C-alpha cells in the first residue's frame, strides 16, 4: 500500500486515479457528513452546483430531504442547515437524504468521484478509516485535503497525517515504506507535533480563525476531537455516500 497526500484537489494528478481516494475537509464538510450518517441520515449527496442541488432535491418529498448549504462559512439562504456538524442531530436527519454543497469539501469529493473506492474522512472517524485501509489493503491511496479555495489548510493536512500515522502504527511498518510522496511525510510530522493539542492547532488555522469570528468555537472543538464516530462514509454511486456495510 502506498499513501499519497495532496493538500488540495487541484494538486492531484490529472492523468491517473488511485484504487482508493479519501476526501478530507475537517472544517467542516466531511465532519458534517460523517456526523449526519451516524445520526441516521439515509445518504449524503454532494453538489458543487447549487442550482443542480435544488433541482435534484426537488424530486424528493420534503419530509424525506434535508438541504445543507454553505459558502464562506455561512449558511446559504433557502437551505435547512449550514455546514455545522452539531446541527445534524437524529431529530433533524434520521431517514433523510442529505443534499449538501459547501465551499471546499464537495469540490474535493467531485475531483475523486471516479476512483474505484471513495471515502470521506475527518478527525472524528479517523480510526474507522485507518481500519478500512488495513483490512482492504488498497494498492494506492490518495488523501486529498479540501483546503480553502485552492490553498493549503492545516486541519486537512494534519488529518491526513493522523490517518497515515495510524496505518503505520497498526501495521508496524516504516513511514518510508508506505509514503508515496514527500507530502505524506510532512503530514505525519505535522500530526506528531500537534497530536496532543489539535484544538490549539485549529485555532492557528486560517479557517479555524474564520469560524471563531463567526462564533463557531463549539464546531471547532467538535471537529478537533479524534476517533469519536465509528462510521465510514463510502461512495455507493457517483456523488452519493452512505455508511459502509
Strands 65-71 and 43-46: unpaired
Shortest CA distance to 160 belongs to which of 197, 123, 201? Answer: 123
Among residues 241, 231, 170, 201, the alpha carbon closest in space to that of 27 is found at 201
Q: What is the pLDDT of residue 107?
A: 85
Whole-number Å distance between alpha carbons of 212 and 229:
24
Please enumerate in sequence order all residues whose Cβ is within 8 A of that of 65, keeping only pairs 6 or more positions apart, or say none.
57, 96, 97, 98, 99
Is the pLDDT at 105 greater than 80, yes or no? no
Residue 99, CB-side half-sphere exposure with 13 Å CA sphere: 23
Set of cell numbers at residue 34: 460523517
Check residue 19 and give its pLDDT: 98
- Quick one: residue 210, left, alpha or beta (phi over 0 = left, psi -120 to 50 = alpha)? alpha
pLDDT at 74: 87
The domain ranges of the chain are: 2-243
| For residue 121, cis peptide bond before it (omega within 30 degrees of 0) | no
**The CATH number of the domain covering residues in 2-243:** 3.90.1560.10
Mean pLDDT of the chain: 95
DSSP-derived 3-state class of residue 238: coil
Whether pTM > 0.85 for this model: the answer is: yes
Amino acid at each position: 500500500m502506498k499513501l499519497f497526500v495532496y493538500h488540495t484537489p487541484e494538486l492531484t494528478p490529472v492523468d491517473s486515479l488511485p484504487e482508493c481516494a479519501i476526501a478530507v475537509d475537517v472544517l467542516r464538510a466531511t465532519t458534517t457528513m460523517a456526523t449526519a450518517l451516524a445520526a441516521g441520515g439515509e445518504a449524503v449527496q454532494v453538489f458543487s452546483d447549487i442550482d443542480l442541488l435544488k433541482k435534484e432535491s426537488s424530486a424528493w418529498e420534503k419530509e424525506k430531504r434535508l438541504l445543507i448549504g454553505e459558502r464562506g462559512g455561512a449558511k446559504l439562504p433557502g437551505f435547512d442547515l449550514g455546514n455545522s456538524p452539531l446541527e445534524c442531530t437524529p431529530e433533524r436527519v434520521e431517514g433523510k437524504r442529505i443534499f449538501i454543497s459547501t465551499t471546499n469539501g464537495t469540490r474535493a469529493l467531485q475531483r475523486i468521484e471516479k476512483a474505484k473506492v471513495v471515502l470521506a474522512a475527518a478527525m472524528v472517524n479517523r480510526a474507522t478509516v485507518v481500519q478500512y485501509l488495513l483490512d482492504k489493503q488498497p494498492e494506492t491511496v490518495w488523501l486529498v485535503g479540501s483546503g480553502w479555495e485552492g490553498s493549503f489548510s492545516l486541519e486537512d493536512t494534519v488529518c491526513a497525517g493522523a490517518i497515515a500515522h495510524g496505518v503505520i502504527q497498526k501495521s508496524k511498518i516504516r513511514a518510508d515504506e508506505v509514503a508515496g510522496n514527500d507530502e505524506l511525510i510532512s503530514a505525519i510530522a505535522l500530526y506528531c507535533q500537534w497530536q496532543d493539542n489539535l484544538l490549539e492547532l485549529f485555532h492557528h488555522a486560517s479557517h479555524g480563525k474564520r469560524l471563531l469570528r463567526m462564533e463557531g468555537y463549539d464546531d471547532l472543538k467538535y471537529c478537533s476531537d479524534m476517533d469519536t464516530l465509528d462510521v465510514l462514509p463510502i461512495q455507493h454511486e457517483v456523488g452519493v455516500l452512505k455508511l459502509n456495510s
